[in-house]
Amino acid sequence: MNPLIFLHAVAGLLGIMAFGLAFLELRKPGAESFAKAHMAGVLGVILLLFSWAMGGFHYITVYGPQVKPLILASSDWAHDLGTETKEHVFLFLPFLAVADVFLIDYAFRKKSAAALKLASTFALAIFILGLIVAFEGFVITNAARAALEARG
């Protein structure tokens, strides 16, 4: 396995897990829960940005020139569905994550129930979208592996 993909996948999964934790903590009232949610959100942003960088570098250096032609030749549906969707959601996630960290802070400082509900919704959306992106990465990786095996 390519080390870039490994770092990309692990950082991404840990990042979305951090937002899963933030979601759970935001459902409990209290300063300690807000502090944990904030810390999880900040850690999640860092991990998602790292995953973003590793994935982007891999996309430019390896996926585009080497993997994409393999997939398009044998499993174009994997590229059309998996990669295209993954690219757009993946580009959006770090921005949503940063917005969520600011919402968590705002909800805590202003004691705003509406901001808390929105921050919780954002955290859950990041978690669910991240799982979808991870699944799409799995599909793409397996399509590339199958194409390599078919070439013999």
Look at residue 47 in the predicted model and tell me its pLDDT: 98
Phi-psi region of 2 (alpha: psi -120 to 50; beta: other; left: phi over 0): beta
Domain ranges of the chain: 3-147
Residue 13's pLDDT is 97
At residue 112, φ and ψ (nearest 5 deg) are -95, 115
Of 115, 93, 92, give the one whose Cα is nearest residue 104: 115
In the prediction, which pLDDT does 82 show?
Answer: 73
Phi, then psi, of 111 in degrees rounded to 5: 55, 45
pLDDT at 64: 81
Q: Note the pLDDT of residue 19.
A: 98
CA distance 113 to 92: 25
pLDDT tens digits, one per residue of 65-83:
888 887 777 777 777 777 7
CA 54 to chain CA centroid, Å, is 12
Tell me what pLDDT residue 27 has.
95
Both structure tokens of 38: 């904030």
CA torsion sign for 25, 26, 30, 35 is positive
* Residue ranges of the chain whose pLDDT lies below 50: none
Q: What is the pLDDT of residue 59?
A: 84
pLDDT for the residue 69? 82
Residues 78, 15: Cα–Cα separation, whole Å: 24
Given this model, what pLDDT does residue 65 score? 86
Give the dihedral of Cα atoms 87, 92, 98, 102; nearest 10 deg: -160
Q: How high is the pLDDT of residue 117?
A: 96
Q: What is the pLDDT of residue 95?
A: 95
Q: What is the pTM of this model?
A: 0.89
